[in-house]
Amino acid sequence: MAPIRNARVLFNSIPDGYPVPGETTVYDTTETIDLENVALNGGFLLKTLVLSVDPYFRALMRGAHPASFKIGAPLYGFGIAVVLRSENPDVAVGEHVYGFMIAHQEYAVVPALGMLQIMDKLPNLPWSVYLGAAGLAGQTAYIAWKEYANAKAGEVVFVTTGAGGVGSMVIQLAKQSGLKVIASAGTEEKVKFMQSLGADVAFNYKTTDTRTVLGKEGPIDVYWDNVGGDVLEAALENAAPHARFLQCGAISGYNTAAGHQPLKNFHLVGAKSLHIHGFTGAHLPMMKYLGEFYATVPAKLASGELKYKEEVTHGLEKMGEVILAVQSGTSKAKAVVVVAEE
């Protein structure tokens, strides 16, 4: 077989604000690959199927972290790929791999499994769901809720970015735990989705004052933070004594020069004896809960007992636009990019 195109999305420059498609990231079609003859050197050849687009990408565009994207190299992140050829005894042709460090390119030779794992899926769940509700987003919600929320029936929880991959799962877990759920998002469409998940109070933070809602519906016993900034300050002001704050993200500041919004009322943590639990997916006790997660959550998603929503974009060439949509909040749900069909 003659060499074929191996399109890639390259990290081109460190952005000052929001990542700009065509400037921050560049879709490149200059590389080719001979699928039958490319050297594997004991590794295996992957065909990329689906890629996850996540808020943390912006942190990897700053150049300061050891895991930062490298200028001129492909982006990477969580993805699903199928094995086309293999010289690795632990990886068979036709198997699917899932995990971090899937390059944003059509094909890649990988030396070893490393941070990847062999993945099977339920017949009635698409692979894309294993990058969202049945993947890192769902795992983050499920594991952090069980480990840190200490939820009690009758308490009040406030969930930000409640229509996203993480927030939508948190809403459902909180309802199952018997809590009153307040949830916010940035469009009326997202508000309706949060209501369909069971949120008792769902509102558009762009048109409704967050402090007014929390003052009426709180105080809050559990706060799930995906945004930081002024909303975090409002949650601190309306927190009950001994409330638990689960700090998952702070996207309101990701695209600023500093990368975060300063907090003005941190003194309330001590004044109200609050419990703060900060985490990333990399720092959660995954091994403690992953078996339980995979044994229960995908089946509940497949049956409809747990609901999910995703925004699926077809074509690697659209990756830059999807990244911008996630950072700017215009994406409508958990964002994934389908690179190829099997």
pLDDT of residue 280: 80
**Which stretches of the chain score pLDDT less than 50?**
none
pLDDT of residue 259: 60
Burial 161-200 (b: 16+ CB within 10 A, else e): bbbbbbbbbbbbbbbebebbbbbbbbeeebbebbeebebb
Task: Identify the residue whose tokens are 């909040």.
Answer: 329
pLDDT of residue 257: 60
Cα 342 from Cα 340, distance rounded (Å): 7
pLDDT of residue 227: 87
pLDDT of residue 101: 87
**Residue 36 DSSP one-character state:** T
pLDDT of residue 254: 61
The sign of the torsion formed by the CA atoms of 165, 167, 171, 176 equals positive
pLDDT of residue 21: 97
Cα 89 from Cα 140, distance rounded (Å): 31
pLDDT of residue 263: 80
Cα 53 from Cα 330, distance rounded (Å): 13
pLDDT of residue 248: 87
pLDDT of residue 281: 74
Which backbone phi and psi does 271 adopt, to 5 degrees? -65, -30
